């Protein structure tokens, strides 16, 4: 199955302790590169985050973002009174009243704002971590599905270009006998214009030499073989982006040779159209996992 390296997916879920949201974005890259932004309490999950994403993706630059919104009731229920500090502040208040002789009621709200009087008790991070990793698995599967959908479109475009290349190869094959005969006749006409006759066997030598020079049967055979190999690769289930990228280089090599050997406008135009189709394929392949 062909998968793109470009995609987006998100997963969100409400828990007793709050709401978790994962967002995953990926673009093409030579290898698998993972970057993430997570709350400080979840930084310890880095190895697990990389492991889970690596189980679903093999190439691409992936940006993973985790957002956590604590439940309001959980936040308030975690507030506790530091009795030692509070009692010490009350004792100091009494000492100040006695020393100053000023009788003033204790301002409890002011005491509550004193640093350390009211503290937030840390939650057990385990439920949060387990939920974050479980939700990440859902988001990773969603990203994989999105990349597969786009991959199907890329595959259709590549198969269309392969058919175009195959048609051009068959057209050139059909033109070759006519091109060879036209070249032979052109050579004969030039010989007739010569003031002196050729040496015996020279004509045959020249024809053989020119035939070898313009012989593109081997290039056409290799282009046809590359088309068949590309179709076979498209049927594979494992990531095939690198293999297809190598095939694009081979396609380019043969089309360049075909163009350099061309002695006919039709084959020259066919070589240009081949290069266009190959370049279009190469652009699609650059985004395949």
Residue 60 β-bridge partners: 32
How high is the pLDDT of residue 202?
Answer: 56
The CATH code for residues 7-71+124-147 is 3.30.230.70
Rounded Cα gap, residues 233 and 242, in angstroms: 11
| pLDDT one-digit tens code per residue, 121-160 | 666 789 899 999 999 999 999 999 999 999 999 999 999 9
Instruction: Work out the mean pLDDT of the chain and round it to a whole number.
Output: 84
Dihedral Cα 85, 89, 92, 96, nearest 10 deg: 160
Residues of the chain with CATH 3.30.230.70: 7-71+124-147
How high is the pLDDT of residue 112?
Answer: 75
Would you say residue 231 has pLDDT above 60?
yes
Listing DSSP states for 107-146 in one string gives -HHHHHTSTTTEEEPPP-HHHHHHHHHHHHHHHHHHHHHH
Is 230:277 a contact under the CB 8 Å cutoff? no
Categorize the per-residue pLDDT at 78 as very low, low, confident or very high, splitting at 50, 70 and 90: low
Average pLDDT over residues 3-18: 93
How high is the pLDDT of residue 70?
Answer: 84
| pLDDT one-digit tens code per residue, 187-203 | 666 666 655 565 555 55
Rounded Cα gap, residues 22 and 66, in angstroms: 5
Categorize the per-residue pLDDT at 224 as very low, low, confident or very high, splitting at 50, 70 and 90: very high
Q: Is the pLDDT higher at 187 or at 18?
A: 18
How high is the pLDDT of residue 284?
Answer: 93
Length of the chain: 289
Tell me which residue of 161, 160, 238, 227 sits closest to 1, measured CA to CA. Answer: 238
Would you say residue 68 has pLDDT above 90?
yes
Listing DSSP states for the chain in one string gives ---BS-EEEEEEEEETTEEEEEEEEEE--SSEEEEEE--GGGGGGHHHHHHHHHHH-SSEEEEEEEEEEE-HHHHHHTEEE-HHHHHHHHHHHHHHHHHH-------HHHHHTSTTTEEEPPP-HHHHHHHHHHHHHHHHHHHHHHHHHHHHHHHHHHHHHHHHHHHHHHHHHHHHHHHHHHHHHHHHHHHHT-SSPPPTTHHHHHHHHHHHHT--HHHHHHHHHHHHHHHHHHT-SS--HHHHHHHHHHHHHHHHHHHHT--SHHHHHHHHHHHHHHHHHHHHHTTB-
How high is the pLDDT of residue 26?
Answer: 96
**What percent of the chain clears pLDDT 70, i.e. is strictly above it?**
85
Q: Is the pLDDT higher at 79 or at 77?
A: 79
Most confident of 53-62, 120-129, 184-193, 202-211: 53-62
Contacts of 147 (CB under 8 A, 6+ apart): 3, 4, 5, 6, 7, 26, 57, 60, 289
Is 35:62 a contact under the CB 8 Å cutoff? yes
Look-up of token digits 């439940």: 71
Would you say residue 230 has pLDDT above 60?
yes
Categorize the per-residue pLDDT at 74 as very low, low, confident or very high, splitting at 50, 70 and 90: low
pTM over 0.85: no
Tokens of 30: 């030579």
Rounded Cα gap, residues 101 and 109, in angstroms: 23
Tell me which residue of 121, 103, 112, 104 sits closest to 85, measured CA to CA. Answer: 112
How big is the chain by its Cα radius of gyration, in Å? 37
Would you say residue 179 has pLDDT above 80?
no
Range name among 16-20, 126-130, 214-218, 268-272 with the lowest pLDDT average:
214-218
Listing DSSP states for 242-274 in one string gives HHHHHHHHHHHHHHHHHHHT--SHHHHHHHHHH
């Amino acid at each position: 199955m062909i998968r793109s390296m470009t995609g987006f997916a998100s997963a969100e879920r409400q828990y007793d302790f709050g709401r978790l949201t994962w967002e995953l974005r990926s673009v093409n890259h030579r290898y698998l590169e993972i970057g993430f932004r997570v709350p400080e309490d979840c930084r310890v999950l880095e190895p697990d985050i990389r492991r889970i994403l690596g189980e679903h993706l093999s190439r691409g630059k992936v940006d993973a973002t985790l957002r956590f919104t604590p439940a309001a009731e959980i936040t308030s229920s975690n507030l506790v009174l530091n009795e030692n500090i509070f009692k010490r502040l009350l004792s100091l208040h009494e000492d100040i009243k006695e020393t100053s002789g000023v009788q003033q009621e204790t301002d409890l709200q002011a005491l509550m704002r004193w640093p350390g009087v009211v503290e937030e008790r840390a939650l057990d991070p385990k439920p949060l971590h387990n939920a974050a990793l479980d939700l990440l698995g859902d988001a990773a599967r969603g990203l994989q599905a999105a990349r597969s959908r786009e991959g199907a479109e890329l595959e259709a475009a590549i198969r269309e270009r392969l058919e175009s290349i195959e048609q051009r190869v068959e057209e050139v094959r059909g033109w070759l006998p006519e091109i060879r005969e036209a070249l032979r006749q052109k050579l004969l006409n030039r010989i007739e214009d010569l003031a002196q006759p050729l040496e015996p066997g020279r004509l045959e030598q020249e024809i053989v030499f020119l035939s070898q020079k313009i012989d593109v049967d081997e290039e056409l055979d290799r282009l046809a073989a590359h088309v068949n190999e590309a179709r076979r690769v498209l049927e594979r289930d494992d990531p095939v982006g690198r293999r297809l990228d190598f095939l694009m280089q081979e396609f380019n090599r043969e089309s360049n040779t075909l163009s350099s050997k061309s002695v006919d406008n039709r084959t020259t135009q066919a070589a240009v159209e081949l290069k266009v189709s190959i370049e279009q394929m190469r652009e699609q392949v650059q985004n395949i996992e």
